[in-house]
Structure 1
Amino acid sequence: MRSIVLSGDGGDLKECLSKLEEQLRPLADKAVPLLVADSHPVQVWAAVLTCQRLGIPLFLGNPHWGEREWGQALADMGSGWCWRQGRLEGDPAPLNPRLRELREVLPSSHWPLIGIPTGGSGGQIKWAMHSWLTLSASAKAHQQHFAVGPVHSYCLLPLYHVSGLMQAVRSWLSGGQWVVWDWKRQQQAKAWDPPLPGSFLSLVPTQLQRLLLSAHPGVLESLRQFRAILVGGGPTWPSLRQQARQLHLPLALTYGMTETASQVCTLLPEAFWQGSDSLGRPLPHATLQIRSEKGDPLPSHAVGYIHIQAESLALGYYPHLSATHRLREGQQQGFTPGDLGYLDRQGSLYWLGRADDLILTGGEKVMAAEVEGEIRASGWVEDVCVLGLPDAEWGQRVVAVVVPKTGIPKELEMHLKQHLSRQLSPFKHPKHWLWCTGIPRNPQGKVNRQQLRQWAAQTLGIPTQAS
């Protein structure tokens, strides 16, 4: 797949926009929603722009959904059309009651809605409902935070993920170029084309790790030329950060999520090079606070729940209308995603992990994300999830579920134990190691912890009801 370079005057995009507007105009009068699931980024971005222009509510979908996920998505929409791998299908019907109610309660500035798929650990799909207004707030804050004009984005992530979508939005609004690369091709390449001056690249930690394991000089040289390599979508681990610093890569560690239209905190590369392991300070459109379980503000360096207020905050979840009604005022009330962390005296954020991933074992606190990061850092596993399962003596026991990359599992367990012994305190080490061929994840890549915990408990002989 060749690189796709898009800008405001791109010919491929103009052709897509013209065809889509002709096809979708009949939907505009009734504001029938459109579900888009296409693997071609030009088609997806053209659909985003066309629906915004015509006032059509848009739901982004994963083109790799199975029939169960696809059926759930269509059922949740209630009525409407779908664009699936280059084909428009559906039956124009009146706006379904849920969306009609949303249109009545939301300010006109937030219409039409843009639904970005997300999901919890239970595997169910839901959409964080944004608008062009919330996405624009995030894009402009990025521009201000890095003090840049046109934002040139190099995209290795799909547009149904918020990180991929926001790269397109930033470039479009700022008049920059949006360059779409194929991840498999870039991962195998021994050299990359040099990026435009002042460009941005977005990666998840696993992608960064794989690039550094290969460490091709031509790739590393191109990586150093980016203004910033935005790394989010999961925690980085100490050895990964150390290697990136040694190679003088311009990492910008970020904190954000689908509900906030990507980053609300970002560490500037200059601070990363100086040794900061924080996720940086809030962007201009956001404020963060650390709160207790009761919701009381906590002082600097006190660990608590991260609370976010941002102009880019989603308007709510679809199809859960009751939550949407409460979140109509959410941009004033804020959002607590269930993450634990603390702010230092300079206001920089340190993320510790999900509160529901906290493992209490023998009176000690273990963050699953920290242990997972160090296991990944070994370079010997394809995937990993760390769980806390009930234990009569310790309260909970630390259990690692691992998809091995190479070697015999018994030998790999010994190597992993030796690796962790040099990196983590003994109480954080897994008491049990379980091997499998794949960890269950939802279409957005989040682990289905409920299913995995049940499997692990059964494998270890722990009663299912206790898990």
Structure 2
Amino acid sequence: MMASNSSCSPSLKERLSNLEGHLRPLAEKAVPLLVADSDPLQVWALVLACQRLGIPLFLANPRWGEREWSQALAGLGSAWRWRQGQLQGDPTSSTSPLGHWQRILPSADWPVIGIPTGGSSGQVRWAVHSWRTLSASARAHQQHFGVECVHSYCMLPLYHVSGLMQAVRSWLSNGQWIVWDWKRQQQAEAWDPPLPGSFLSLVPTQLQRLLLDARPRVLESLRQFQAILVGGGPTWPSLRQQARQLYLPLALTYGMTETASQVCTLLPQAFLQGSDSLGRPLPHARLEIRGEAGDPLPVQTVGSIHVWAESLALGYYPLAGEAEGLGKWQQQGLAPGDWGYLDSQGHLHWLGRADDLILTGGEKVMAAEVEGEIRASGWVEDVCVLGLPDQEWGQQLVAVAVPKVGIPLTADELEEHLKRHLAQQLSPFKHPKRWLWCSGIPRNPQGKVNRQQLRQWAAQTLGIPTQAS
């Protein structure tokens, strides 16, 4: 069962009936549907309708610009799309660009569900899942937390895997799925108390903004959740410390679009007792830490994280296919490019992405840790830490930040404030040597920093030769 805010009208049953009538021409031809809608219940109804009719569905960000839309439609090879409440397309279209996938995939993996993802290239692509992979993730969540019925309070969009999986978990467990508007909840003086045994999912920035205000009646409601899942990026020490002091039941998670969300999750009891790990793997997943030669590493040894899980995506689209080996991850595991280690209790400790590692003066610095502490100051809207060439140190840390609106400080004063803040939190070798200020950090449609573009701009601004950078 589902609950929602005013977006519940018309009912889900009525929406499904109407949608199935509109979508039957696509079902007969098995052509994919590109979906972008800001109404979460409408998106969820489309997911269910496409599953019933056997239509491949690809989720999109409704705020994409025309460039992203053009890329997406070209990649899918289909003109059919659902955009903000309207079905648009060519009724005479008869070709399915996914014919190869349909022929080789087991029936349990058809129709596919594409969730947008991507690195720093700016190109639109999807991690391709199925109801089987999403269900495996949902069942593992139930087993990990020892619950039968999952009530989810959703403030994340459904084109993100964290938002979509909240709906899937509640649907499969006959729980309630409650849609909350993030902006409204952020400004509210009080929240309605959640249903017993409920789950809330947040990204670290959302948690930080809630705690900056720390309204007593909001905190009271937060403490009543069975778990507040925090993923989508690293938490920073001061944020974790504040959450513990307020006795919030955080469940730090490790996962990604390719794994249908969490594959490791720290239980709230362990968090409140002081653990900063990301917990043990869920029942459907297995992790290994491997060295440069691909050999498994012993506990407490830092290396590359490799993941095997029943919830692994089938591959990427449109980049995947025969050449890249459809289903390759299920056999060889997924190496997402993350660094970390497993402790003696099997808990995962995430250190950062391999391409975010900065070597300066013989020391290793993970950019994510420094970025987290800069955000924790509350004085910046956004930040990215880069490693740029330096003749003396090998690489120098450069922080590119967007000042928070309304702070009555000059750039020099803000830099001094941030330096003092970092001096209390991090070792000196982790402090940025140079600071750059801008109005916005370039990101792709999935929110990931376009580091190549940012690195070129920073190098030119600082007078570092482009070739060296």
Q: TM-score w.r.t. structure 2 length?
A: 0.97
Say whether residues 1:374 and 2:355 are aligned partners.
no
Residue 11 of structure 2 aligns to a residue in which SS?
A: helix
Whether the aligned pair in 1 keeps the contact of 2:29 and 2:96 (CA below 8 Å) is no
Deviations 1:141-162 (A, max 9, x none): 0000000011000000000000
Residue 200 of structure 2 aligns to a residue in which SS?
A: strand
Deviations 1:158-215 (A, max 9, x none): 0000000000000000000000000000000010000000000000000000000000
Deviation at residue 6 of structure 1 after TM alignment = 10
Q: Aligned partners of 2:365, 2:160: CA distance in 1, in Å?
A: 29
- Counterpart residue number, 2:4: 4
Deviations 1:319-375 (A, max 9, x none): 013477524142122100000000001100000000000001111100000000111
Q: Aligned partners of 2:32, 2:258: CA distance in 1, in Å?
A: 20
| Map 1:185-264 → 2, pairs under 5 A | 185-264=184-263
- Counterpart residue number, 2:453: 451
Deviations 1:424-454 (A, max 9, x none): 1111110100000111111111111111111
- Counterpart residue number, 2:23: 24
Q: Aligned partners of 2:196, 2:446: CA distance in 1, in Å?
A: 32
Letter in 1 for 2:96: N
Cα gap change, 1:129 to 1:6, in 2 (>3 Å): farther
Q: Aligned partners of 2:96, 2:442: CA distance in 1, in Å?
A: 33
Aligned residues: 463
Residue 88 of structure 1 aligns to a residue in which SS?
A: strand
Letter in 2 for 1:235: P
Cα gap change, 1:329 to 1:51, in 2 (>3 Å): same
- Counterpart residue number, 1:431: 433
Deviations 1:24-47 (A, max 9, x none): 011101101100000001110000
Whether the aligned pair in 1 keeps the contact of 2:396 and 2:433 (CA below 8 Å) is yes
Q: Aligned partners of 1:39, 1:346: CA distance in 2, in Å?
A: 42
- Counterpart residue number, 1:101: 100
- Counterpart residue number, 2:327: 328
Whether the aligned pair in 1 keeps the contact of 2:320 and 2:326 (CA below 8 Å) is no
Letter in 2 for 1:402: A
Q: Aligned partners of 2:255, 2:323: CA distance in 1, in Å?
A: 20
Residue 450 of structure 1 aligns to a residue in which SS?
A: helix
Cα gap change, 1:79 to 1:257, in 2 (>3 Å): same
Q: Which runs of 5+ in 1 are unaligned?
A: none
Say whether residues 1:461 and 2:460 are aligned partners.
no
Whether the aligned pair in 1 keeps the contact of 2:289 and 2:302 (CA below 8 Å) is yes
Q: TM-score w.r.t. structure 1 length?
A: 0.97
Among 412, 421, 424, which residue is 2:423 paired with?
421
Whether the aligned pair in 2 keeps the contact of 1:362 and 1:395 (CA below 8 Å) is yes
Whether the aligned pair in 2 keeps the contact of 1:32 and 1:80 (CA below 8 Å) is no
Cα gap change, 1:113 to 1:80, in 2 (>3 Å): farther
Q: Which runs of 5+ in 2 are unaligned?
A: none
Letter in 1 for 2:452: Q
Point out the more displaced range, 439-448 or 177-186: 439-448
Among 398, 401, 409, which residue is 2:411 paired with?
409
Point out the more displaced range, 278-287 or 434-443: 434-443
Cα gap change, 1:6 to 1:166, in 2 (>3 Å): farther
Deviation at residue 465 of structure 1 after TM alignment = 2.2
Whether the aligned pair in 2 keeps the contact of 1:35 and 1:61 (CA below 8 Å) is yes
TM superposition outliers: structure 1 runs of 4+ over 4 Å: none
Deviation at residue 102 of structure 1 after TM alignment = 1.2
Point out the more displaced range, 261-270 or 322-331: 322-331
Deviation at residue 278 of structure 1 after TM alignment = 0.1
- Counterpart residue number, 1:287: 286
Letter in 2 for 1:212: L
Cα gap change, 1:156 to 1:323, in 2 (>3 Å): farther
Percent identity over the alignment is 78
Deviation at residue 298 of structure 1 after TM alignment = 0.1
Q: Aligned partners of 2:325, 2:213: CA distance in 1, in Å?
A: 48
Residue 91 of structure 1 aligns to a residue in which SS?
A: coil
Whether the aligned pair in 2 keeps the contact of 1:62 and 1:443 (CA below 8 Å) is yes
Deviations 1:221-256 (A, max 9, x none): 000000000000000000000000010000000000
RMSD: 1.5
